[in-house]
């Protein structure tokens, strides 16, 4: 009996928070995985070693290195996660160069070298939507894009650039992930920042009630575990039609206050924790960002495996 050809998967941004989880999931699935990281990626967060895993480096600012990788490995699918992931504190020029031109350049390589033989999953963001208002309950993929941040604008612009390549034959699929967290997430994002502040104040404040500075507590977000997020990416790659746009979300909103209270419970401290809003940490972000997950669920028997409580417990223990 002939051995079945392994699916060859290229992951860009493979050394990032989500990328490392996606690498593990695809390797476990039996794919031949080519993990592409930037030339200056953080070696302290190195990827695992496996016979089905190949490590490569390429720079988003140019195409020759990536073209050589595509030509050498002849991929069946590409997950494009590379780019700037932080949602604030970055210039418009940097966002445009990395998130827009970087994605366009590499997708154009795939369109020219592979045509529609290789599926290209672009990981966009729920930040393209803006904020829910009025009677709106959840964002749908068909809603008008009204980003309120430079980061969201860069992702919306990248989508527009890639739609043009779709018309030229790119086998494009777009995932719009909402908030996600989990073990291994670094500082600069809500959940690990909260955990880090609590641990710091446990040391600094000695006995008595802990006071933790936070941003807006009433903001509502749609959180998922990063391991569920990568499962959704794989499902979209395998089951969504060319040209599909799919929200990656739980469909359930939770306030920052509720999430902080869950995290406080996971500390197992006998001391109480009081959260104090610090205006310096308020960044003018949307009031409510919750997604409609019907499109994702329509692709197969998919549901999150991790509760937010489970996820925050693992995040806390990973610090």
pLDDT at 236: 98
pLDDT score for 48: 66
C-alpha distances out from residue 5 to 32, 68, 76, 318, Å: 10, 22, 11, 37
Which pLDDT belongs to residue 135?
Answer: 61
pLDDT, tens digit, for every residue of 103-119? 999 999 999 999 999 99
Q: In the structure encoding, which two tokens stand for residue 166, read together? A: 């779709």
* Nearest-angstrom CA–CA distance, 242 and 261: 41
| pLDDT at site 278 | 73
The residue-averaged pLDDT of 12-20 equals 95
Both tokens of 212, joined, read 């933790």
How many C-beta neighbours within 10 Å does residue 265 have? Answer: 14
pLDDT tops 80 at residue 201: no
The phi and psi torsions of 131 (rounded to 5 degrees) equal: -130, 140
Residue 1 has a pLDDT of 42
pLDDT greater at residue 190 or residue 69:
69
At 308, is the secondary structure helix, strand, or coil? helix
Q: What is the share, in percent, of the chain residues with pLDDT greater than 90?
A: 65
65-77 pLDDT tens trace:
999 999 999 999 9
Kindly list the structural domains of the chain, giving each domain's residue range(s) and its CATH number in brackets, ordered by start.
8-182+225-251+291-306 (3.40.50.720)
Question: Is residue 272 classed exposed, middle or buried when 0-12, 13-18 and 19+ CB atoms within 10 A define those classes?
Answer: exposed
Q: Residue 216: pLDDT above 90?
A: no
Confidence (pLDDT) at 237? 98
Question: In this model, does residue 299 exceed pLDDT 90?
Answer: yes
Close Cβ partners of 129 (under 8 Å, ≥ 6 residues apart) = 139, 143, 145, 146, 147, 152, 176, 289
Mean pLDDT, the chain, rounded, equals 89
The pLDDT, as a whole number, for residue 199 is 79
- In 13-149, which residue ranges form alpha helices assigned H by DSSP? 17-29, 64-73, 92-95, 103-114
User: Is pLDDT of 231 > 70?
Assistant: yes
* pLDDT tens-place string over residues 141-152: 999 999 999 999
**Region 43-67: what's the mean pLDDT?**
82
Q: In 3-state terms, what secondary structure has residue 120?
A: strand
Q: What is the pLDDT of residue 43?
A: 42
Distance CA 175, CA 270 (A): 42
Helices (H), 57-205: 64-73, 92-95, 103-114, 150-166, 190-204
Mean pLDDT within 228-242:
98
pTM score of the predicted model: 0.92
* Alpha helix (H) residue ranges in 39-91: 64-73
What SS3 state is found at 211? strand
Pairing of the two strands 8-12 and 77-80: parallel
Distance CA 45, CA 14 (A): 10
């Amino acid at each position: 009996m002939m051995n079945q050809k392994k699916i060859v998967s290229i992951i860009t941004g493979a050394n990032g928070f989500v990328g490392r989880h996606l690498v593990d999931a695809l390797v476990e699935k039996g794919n031949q995985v080519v993990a592409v990281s930037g030339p200056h990626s953080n070696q302290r967060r190195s990827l695992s070693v496996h016979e089905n895993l190949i490590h490569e480096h390429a720079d988003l600012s140019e195409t020759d290195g990536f073209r050589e990788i595509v030509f050498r490995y002849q991929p069946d699918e590409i997950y494009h996660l590379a780019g700037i992931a932080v949602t604030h504190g970055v210039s418009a020029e940097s966002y445009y160069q990395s998130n827009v031109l970087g994605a366009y350049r590499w997708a154009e390589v795939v369109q020219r070298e592979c045509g529609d033989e290789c599926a290209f999953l672009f990981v966009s963001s729920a930040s393209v939507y803006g904020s829910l208002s009025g009677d709106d309950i959840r964002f749908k993929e068909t809603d008008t894009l009204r980003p309120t941040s430079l980061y969201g604008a860069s992702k919306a612009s990248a989508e527009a650039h890639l739609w043009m390549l779709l018309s030229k034959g790119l086998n494009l699929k777009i995932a719009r992930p909402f908030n996600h967290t989990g073990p291994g997430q670094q500082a600069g994002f809500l959940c690990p920042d909260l955990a880090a502040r609590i641990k710091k104040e446990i040391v600094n404040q000695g006995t008595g009630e802990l006071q933790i500075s936070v941003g807006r507590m009433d903001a509502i977000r749609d959180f998922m575990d990063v391991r569920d997020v990568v499962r959704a990416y794989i499902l979209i790659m395998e089951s969504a039609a060319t040209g599909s746009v799919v929200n990656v979300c739980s469909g359930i909103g939770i306030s920052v206050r509720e999430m902080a209270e869950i995290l406080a419970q996971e500390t197992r401290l006998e001391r109480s924790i009081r959260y104090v809003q610090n205006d310096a940490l308020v960044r003018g972000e949307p009031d409510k960002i919750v997604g409609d997950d019907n499109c994702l669920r329509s692709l197969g028997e998919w549901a999150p495996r991790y509760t937010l409580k489970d996820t925050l417990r693992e995040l806390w223990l990973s610090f």
